[in-house]
Amino acid sequence: MSLLRPLRLVAVAEATSFLALLVATYVKHAHDAPIGVSVLGPIHGALFVAYVVLALMVFKPAGWSLATGIGVLVGAVVPFGGFVVDRKVLRGGDPPPATAAR
């Protein structure tokens, strides 16, 4: 079973939760309303951990280069990163392994 589809779903969910958490952080400090951070913080944290674990599990079977693997992991810590990773790396399905015959 390929873990690319679950990784795509988690990448998009993690990126969305990251952006929502950034907005909630602004609201917390600008309007003294910490509830958004209290709710979104743990959700984003769980999605972040799931993203990293899935990315590490997919790395070798997908045949990613080290640069691609690092890029996918960096996508978890950059705003909009999960969306970029989904579009540029994951959307095409299983990439051919690097050791495949040409």
- Residue 56 is inside which H or E element, if any? helix 35-62
pTM of the predicted model as reported, rounded to 2 decimal places = 0.85
40-93 tens-digit pLDDT: 999 999 999 999 999 999 999 999 999 999 999 999 999 999 999 999 998 865
Domain ranges of the chain: 4-90
Structure tokens at 50: 């799931």
CA–CA dist 72, 83 (Å, integer)? 11
Q: Phi then psi for 78, rounded to 5 degrees?
A: -115, 130
| Higher-scoring residue by pLDDT: 48, 100 | 48
> Is the four-CA dihedral 16, 18, 21, 23 of positive or negative sign?
negative
CA–CA dist 89, 95 (Å, integer)? 8
CA–CA dist 47, 18 (Å, integer)? 9
